[in-house]
Amino acid sequence: MTCTEFIAQLDDLLEERVSITLRADLEEHLRGCEHCVITMNTTRKTIEIYRSHELYELPNALRERLQKAILAKCKKC
C-alpha cells in the first residue's frame, strides 16, 4: 500500500468504518511509515480540538434578543 492509498482511507479508518481485511492492510502500512502515523495522529487531534472548543458562543443577552425577535415575527405571520 502506498501513502496515497493510505490517505484515501484515512477518514474511514478514523471513524472505524473499514473492514477487518482493509484495517490489517492499513496497520501493516503504518508499521513501516512514520509519516502516515504522524498524519493519522495529528488529523485525529485536529478533529478532537475543533470538537472540544466552542469558537462561536451565542451570548445569553443576544440569544434572548434573537429569540424575542423571532417569536414576535412568527406571531405576525
Partner 1 sequence: MPDIQTQGTEEVHPDVLLVNRAREGDVQAFEKLVKQYDRQVFRIAQHITQNREDAEDVVQDAFLKAYEKLDQFQGNSKFYTWLVRIAVNESLMRLRKRRTGRMVSIDEDVETDEGSMPRDLADWGPDPEMQYGQSELADILRKTIQGLPPGFRTVFVLRDVEGLSTEETAETLGLSVPAVKSRLLRARLQLRERLSRYFRKNKRDGAK
Contact positions vs partner 1 (CB under 8 A): 3-4, 7-8, 10-11, 35, 38-39, 41-43, 45-47, 49-51, 53-58, 62-63, 66-67, 69-71, 73-75, 77
Largest Cα span, the chain = 66
Do the beta carbons of residue 50 and residue 40 sit within 8 Å? Answer: no
Nearer to partner 1, 24 or 38 (CB): 38
Nearer to partner 1, 28 or 45 (CB): 45
Return the closest-CA partner of residue 26 out of 6, 4, 7, 3.
6
| Min separation Cβ 8 and partner 1, Å | 8
Residues contacting residue 28 through CB under 8 Å, at least 6 positions apart: 1
| Min separation Cβ 12 and partner 1, Å | 8
